[in-house]
Structure 1
Amino acid sequence: MDTHGERRVAVIIEDDADIRHLLETVLTQAGFEVVATGNGLDGVQAVRAYDPMVTTLDVSMPGIDGFEAAKRIRAFSNTYLVMLTARDEEIDTLQGLEAGADDYLTKPFRPRELRARIEAMMRRPRQVLATDGSGPVAPVAAAATPVAAQPATLAPAAVTTEAPVAAAPAPAPAAEPAAPKSYDKDDGWLEHNGLFVNSEMRLVEKEGKSVELTRSEFDLLNALMESQRRVRSKADLALLLRGESYVTAHFVSEADKRAIEVHMANLRRKLADSITTPRWIETVRGVGYRLAASEDD
């Protein structure tokens, strides 16, 4: 079930051997080729080398912890990040989401729940970051070479391929002005107050420049763009990220709703949107979110 010939690769970053083996079993049964690592540094290198669709990331690890590993991974990869924490504390959840995680599970977790969340994620298109030749291109190119070896041996090769690429700066500025094109509705573009979103290509552009979002941030923004001025509740949006329908009445915890608040705060920050005088995302107190009023009204 590869999309566009992509291999379904998952990277596990987990220092507990028992949990690492459990994750390997769950992800293998879900149809992934699994690369398992025991610490944050090896995990970051594995993500760089293999360009996985999904990465599970433990919070408490020797060396760099899960929060720092998430930040480093987010600098070059749009892998779907699921953070695992043994401490059922809200601060861990918030810290993880702010570091770039898309979802989180508290240990001990049920393998069936992890499998369900991953399957829901796979129903969402995978965003390709390398659209304009900037930063994230190198990891994608490096990921084509490895087959099934251990990540530690592949990491140096992936790193060394990046250096020669930066030799020709002259063509890059010429390509930049050519990038903005017509945002035709027939091509799938939605527009609101100068912000353009394309759900099929999973692109967000503001003032002619692309805005890099995590998978979850994009899905939330796209949901608001499609709903326009209709309010979307936090519970509704939490279920949306889990790939579940609101009418099925699945349980949504306060932590899930708080996670939506963190995603929205990150989204506002990346859009440079004001909370008090929003141009795009308006908070409906006690309910949820909707698009701000149109500037043409």
Structure 2
Amino acid sequence: MCRVSGTAKVLVVEDTPDISEVIELALTGARLDVLAVDDGHRALAAALDWSPDVVVLDLNIPGPDGFEVCRRLRQFSAAYVLMLTARADEVDKLVGLSVGADDYLTKPFSPRELVARVQAMLRRPRALAGTAPAEPLPATTRDVGPVRLDLDAREVTVSGRPVALTRIEYDLLVALTENTRQVRTRDQLRERVWGGSWLADDHAVDVHMSNLRRKLTAAGATGVIATVRGVGYRVSPGRPA
């Protein structure tokens, strides 16, 4: 286990020492606080004890693999997850996104691109691209049909029952509910949630939106998220489950 101090905290999970060192040097050069571990069990323990802001996670690690680590992380951590792996198969990418990863970078990688993606995760845009900043809402909750968002607590309930969402899923729902009459394009959602339209492709947006819709439907909020073909997504009051 290696620790280098900086500002925002990044947990690096990589079992190849040379690659881990490259990642650490790149991130510490960007004044980030880095903790490096080399297996899945240490990764989960470090995430629990250290509460990182971002996790750079290799898939092929000893112990629980990257998919399982990401799945378990989502049970207690809101950290962004960047999967960094030699697997270039689109199926692996989609599986990674479906278990809660926020982005996916394939080896060999550019250290500068890695840093840019981590920094984009840490950046929190305040408005959708191409729109005027929204007026502050006097209420700290938003209601769409049976769905309620508590903006202060970052919690979502359906008919009073809590629904566990990942950070990305929650941020997508917040973006959609900023104006319930407006359709949000995928580019707008990328800018709002990932910090730049280059960071995630349409597959990433669609996979996270599919996961969000599935969780809301399972909780009894059917039809709250509607797909507008060829444009993007919007919210509606839904219909009884």
Shift, 1:225, TM fit: 0.5
Structure 1 counterpart of 2:145 = 193
CA distance in 1 between partners of 2:64 and 2:218 (Å): 32
CA distance 1:89–1:42, change in 2 (3 Å): same
SS of aligned partner of 1:76: coil
Largest Rg, 1 or 2: 1
SS of aligned partner of 1:272: helix
Paired AA for residue 88 in structure 2: D
Shift, 1:102, TM fit: 1.7
Shift, 1:201, TM fit: 3.8
1:235–1:252: 8 Å Cα contact kept in structure 2?
no
Tell me whether 51-60 or 62-71 shows the greater mean CA deviation. 62-71
For residues 140-168 of structure 1, the C-alpha deviation after alignment (integer angstroms, 9 at most, x for no partner) is: xxxxxxxxxxxxxxxxxxxxxxxxxxxxx
Report whether the alignment pairs 1:292 with 2:236.
Answer: yes
SS of aligned partner of 1:186: coil
CA distance 1:252–1:66, change in 2 (3 Å): closer
Report whether the alignment pairs 1:229 with 2:174.
Answer: no
Shift, 1:123, TM fit: 2.5
SS of aligned partner of 1:228: coil
Shift, 1:293, TM fit: 5.1
SS of aligned partner of 1:219: helix
SS of aligned partner of 1:227: coil
Structure 2 counterpart of 1:272 = 217
Identity %: 44
Paired AA for residue 75 in structure 2: A
1:278–1:292: 8 Å Cα contact kept in structure 2?
no
Report whether the alignment pairs 1:53 with 2:53.
Answer: yes
Structure 2: state its 5+ residue gaps. Answer: 1-6, 126-136
CA distance in 2 between partners of 1:27 and 1:238 (Å): 23
Shift, 1:28, TM fit: 1.5
Report whether the alignment pairs 1:259 with 2:204.
Answer: yes
Using the size of structure 2 for normalisation, the TM-score is 0.81
Using the size of structure 1 for normalisation, the TM-score is 0.67
Structure 1 counterpart of 2:227 = 283
Instruction: Trace 1:171-250 onto structure 2 (pairs within 5 A).
Output: 186-244=138-196
1:85–1:92: 8 Å Cα contact kept in structure 2?
no
Structure 1 counterpart of 2:82 = 82
Paired AA for residue 239 in structure 1: E
1:273–1:281: 8 Å Cα contact kept in structure 2?
no
Size of the aligned set, in residue pairs, is 221
For residues 22-53 of structure 1, the C-alpha deviation after alignment (integer angstroms, 9 at most, x for no partner) is: 11112222333211111112211211221111
CA distance in 2 between partners of 1:190 and 1:211 (Å): 15
Tell me whether 66-75 or 115-124 shows the greater mean CA deviation. 115-124
Structure 1: state its 5+ residue gaps. Answer: 1-6, 126-184, 245-249
Shift, 1:285, TM fit: 2.0
2:97–2:103: 8 Å Cα contact kept in structure 1?
yes
Structure 2 counterpart of 1:100 = 100
- Name the structure with the higher strand share: 2
Shift, 1:101, TM fit: 1.2
Tell me whether 200-209 or 217-226 shows the greater mean CA deviation. 200-209
CA distance in 2 between partners of 1:124 and 1:213 (Å): 18
2:222–2:238: 8 Å Cα contact kept in structure 1?
no
2:184–2:233: 8 Å Cα contact kept in structure 1?
yes
Runs of 4+ residues over 4 Å off in structure 1: 250-253
- Name the structure with the higher helix share: 1
CA distance in 2 between partners of 1:225 and 1:187 (Å): 13
Paired AA for residue 79 in structure 1: A
For residues 79-131 of structure 1, the C-alpha deviation after alignment (integer angstroms, 9 at most, x for no partner) is: 21111121222111111112121222122222222222222222239xxxxxx
